[in-house]
């Protein structure tokens, strides 16, 4: 095993293959970029507080504080230990599995093809052009995912979820009060979306033409649908949207207690034939 103590801005290059990446920091920023190169590169551009410990064990590269464990990460609330910050950038082979833990720091992962797991307390997470399976767990941090084609799992207490140009085969999200906005571009596999919330709002924009069995329920919020083939109804305050779009090969399920639910329609692709019929929303 090789080990380095990084107490000031520094750049390290690793020529041997990296097969796994683990990063854990408190405040600051983590940037992870997948590349076509076989080597890996670490740049620590800003650092305040105790030094970072960089270890290379076999093919696993770890950049972390010694007192910040991966297990029980979301329960790490030592106020004294929050007084530290680092800006860390890593370039690794695109297929490398990535684990990132951030307390108050922002995490950005782009261009990777392997599994990605992010655990955060209050830091926001951004994913761009990630094609491997993704799991993000936060307390209050937000997640923005753009052009993500892998299966996506998101768990949060109050963090918001925003999916833009989603083409993955599956989206699963659970939150207590965070809002959820999911935009599907229709270029991936059949829609498989399951969203669960308590008081946060849910909005899903489906491709045109859409192809899914739809079930959306709210106990006391409002619902709206841009699809004339879906039924909007309910009683005693509870409201729901149900029905089939296209052949119903995919599935969309959205559940919230007091939040509103909106089902929106993407405009037709430029090369798609025009279709007739109303596009006004049905609101209840």
Instruction: Mark 25-56 as b/e (b = at least 16 C-beta within 10 Å).
Output: bbbbbbbbbbbeeeebbbebeebebbbbbbeb
What pLDDT sits at residue 82?
65
Quote the pLDDT of residue 72: 66
pLDDT attached to residue 77: 56
Q: Would you give the end-to-end CA distance of the chain in angstroms?
A: 62
| pLDDT the model gives residue 74 | 60
pLDDT of residue 81: 60
* pLDDT value of position 273: 46
pLDDT in tens, 67-112: 777 776 565 556 666 688 999 999 999 999 999 999 889 999 999 9
DSSP 283: E
User: For 106-140, what is the HEC assignment?
Assistant: EEEEECCCCCEEEEECCCCEEEECCCCCEEEEECC
Residues of the chain with pLDDT under 50: 271-284
Residue 208 has what pLDDT? 80
Q: What pLDDT is recorded for position 277?
A: 42
Is the Cα dihedral 32, 129, 178, 118 positive or negative? negative
């Amino acid at each position: 095993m090789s080990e380095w103590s990084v107490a000031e801005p520094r750049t390290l290059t690793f020529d041997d293959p990296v097969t796994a990446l683990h990063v854990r920091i408190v405040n600051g920023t983590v940037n992870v970029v997948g590349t076509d190169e076989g080597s890996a590169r670490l740049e620590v551009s800003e650092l305040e507080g105790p030094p970072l410990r960089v270890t290379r064990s076999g093919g696993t590269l770890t950049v972390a504080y010694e007192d910040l464990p991966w297990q029980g990460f979301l329960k790490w609330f030592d106020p004294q230990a929050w007084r530290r910050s680092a800006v860390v950038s890593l370039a690794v082979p695109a297929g490398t599995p990535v684990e990132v833990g951030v307390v108050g720091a922002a995490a950005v992962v782009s261009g990777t093809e392997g599994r990605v797991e992010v655990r955060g307390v209050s830091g926001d997470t951004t994913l761009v052009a990630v094609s491997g399976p993704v799991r993000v767990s936060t307390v209050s941090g937000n997640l923005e995912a753009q052009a993500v084609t892998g299966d996506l799992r998101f768990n949060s207490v109050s963090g918001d979820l925003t999916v833009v140009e989603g083409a993955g085969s599956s989206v699963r999200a659970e939150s207590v009060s965070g809002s959820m906005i999911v935009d599907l571009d229709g270029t991936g596999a059949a829609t498989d979306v399951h969203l669960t919330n308590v008081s946060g709002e849910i909005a899903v924009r489906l491709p045109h033409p859409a192809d899914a069995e739809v079930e959306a329920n709210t106990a006391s919020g409002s619902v709206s649908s841009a699809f004339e083939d879906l039924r909007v109804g309910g009683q005693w305050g509870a409201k729901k949207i149900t029905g089939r779009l296209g052949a119903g090969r995919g599935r969309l399920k959205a559940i919230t207690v007091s939040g509103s639910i909106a089902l929106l329609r993407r405009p037709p692709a430029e090369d798609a034939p025009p279709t007739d019929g109303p596009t006004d929303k049905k609101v209840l």
